[in-house]
Structure 1
Amino acid sequence: VRVAYSPDLGITPVDPEVAAVTRKAAQRFTELGVIVEEAHPDFSEAHECFHVLRALDFAMSKAELLRTKRDLLKPEVIWNIEEGLKLTVAQIARAEAQRVAITARAVRFFETYDLLLAPATIVPPFPVENRYVAECAGHKFDNYVQWLGIVYAITLACCPALSLPCGFTASGLPVGLQVIAAPRADAQLLAGAKVLEDILGVAASTPIDPRAPK
C-alpha cells in the first residue's frame, strides 16, 4: 500500500546516477497504485554504532591472528583489529544501546510503510583493483568500510533485505535496488520484491558479454 524510497538513508553520499536509476525504479510501484514517498528511519547513529561493534568482533575473533600472523594480514584488517583492542566498556555499552534504539525506530517506521527501498550500493561497479571505495560524490570516507553504510545500517536494524537488479548506468553497468522490510517480515519482503521485479523486467538482463566456453 505504501512504500518509502531513500537515496541515502540520510547518512551517506550517493553517486547521482545511482540515485536517479534507483529512484526511477522505485517509482514504478505507482503503476500498481502503490503510494511511494521519500522517507527513511533515523539512522544517524549507524556509523558510530557499526564502527564499534565491527571493531569489537574483529578484536574478539582475530586478535590471535594479529599476534601470530600480522605479516599475512592486509592493512585494513590490522587497523580494524587494533580499533577493537582500543575500545572501552563505555563505548561498547553505548553501541549496544544505539543498536537497540536503531531497531526500535525501524520497527516504528514499518508501522507506516510496507517496504523501504534504497540503493544497494552508493556507486556503480568499480575496478577490481580498488579494494574499497575511498570517495563518493566529492566526499572522502574516514575508513575502508564507511562507504557501505547504506547496507550496514539495515543490518544494525535487524531488517531483512535483498538486492534487486533495477537498471543500468549510461555506460551499461548494473545498478541494484535494496528492498527492505520490517524485522522478521521476510515473506513480505520477497513478495514485494517479486512484484517490482516483474514490473521492471530486467532480471534476465546482463551488461556483460559472455565468454566463449573453452
Structure 2
Amino acid sequence: MTAHLATFHERFDLLVTPTMPTSPFEAGHNVPPGGKYKDWRDWTPFSSPFNLTQQPAASLPCGLDDQGLPVGLHLVAGKYQDMKVMHAARVLE
C-alpha cells in the first residue's frame, strides 16, 4: 500500500476524499447502528490507511448532510509532505 501511494503522489500533490463514508452517529457505538458495518475498519476507509503509510492528512468541515450533521473533507499528501496538506487546508479554510 505504501509503494502504491508513493507512486500516486509522484503524479498528484493531494488525494482528496470524504473523511468518513457515513454521517456521525451516537457516541458509545464502535460502528454505526443499523448493521451495515461490522468492524471499525469498515467505516474508516478514508483515514486508517494513511496512518499505516505514515502520510500527512487533515480533515476539514465542508458542509452538512441532509440531517444537518457535519461532513468532512480529507486531504492527504505524500510521505513527509506535511506542508502541502497544511497549505491546502489553510486555503480551503
Query: Do 1:110 and 1:181's aligned partners in 2 also have CA atoms closer than 8 Å?
Result: yes
Aligned match of 2:84: 188
Query: Which TM-score applies when normalising by structure 2?
Result: 0.85
Q: CA deviation at 1:142?
A: 4.1
Write out aligned runs for 1:168-179 (5 A). Answer: 168-179=64-75
**From 35, 41, 59, the counterpart of 1:145:** 41
Aligned match of 1:127: 26
Aligned match of 1:28: none
Cα distance in 2 for partners of 1:135, 1:173 equals 18
How big is the alpha-carbon RMSD for the aligned residues of Structure 1 and Structure 2? 1.9
Q: CA deviation at 1:141?
A: 3.2
Higher relative contact order (CA 8 A, sep 6+): 2
Query: Do 2:23 and 2:69's aligned partners in 1 also have CA atoms closer than 8 Å?
Result: yes
Greater percentage in strand: 2
Deviations 1:8-36 (A, max 9, x none): xxxxxxxxxxxxxxxxxxxxxxxxxxxxx
Cα distance in 2 for partners of 1:146, 1:170 equals 22
Computing the radius of gyration from Cα coordinates, the structure with the larger value is: 1
Q: CA deviation at 1:133?
A: 2.3
Greater percentage in helix: 1
Deviations 1:119-143 (A, max 9, x none): 111111112243322668xxx3343
Cα distance in 2 for partners of 1:160, 1:176 equals 16
Q: Please list every run of 5 or more consecutive structure 1 residues that lacks an aligned counterpart in the other structure.
A: 1-101, 198-214
Secondary structure of the residue aligned to 1:193 is helix
Secondary structure of the residue aligned to 1:191 is helix
Q: CA deviation at 1:193?
A: 1.3
Identity %: 34
Q: CA deviation at 1:191?
A: 0.4
Residue-pair matches, total: 93
Q: Please list every run of 5 or more consecutive structure 2 residues that lacks an aligned counterpart in the other structure.
A: none
Query: Do 1:115 and 1:189's aligned partners in 2 also have CA atoms closer than 8 Å?
Result: yes
Aligned match of 1:114: 13
Q: CA deviation at 1:146?
A: 2.4
Cα distance in 1 for partners of 2:40, 2:33 equals 7
Deviations 1:152-208 (A, max 9, x none): 1122222110111111112211111111100000011100111122xxxxxxxxxxx
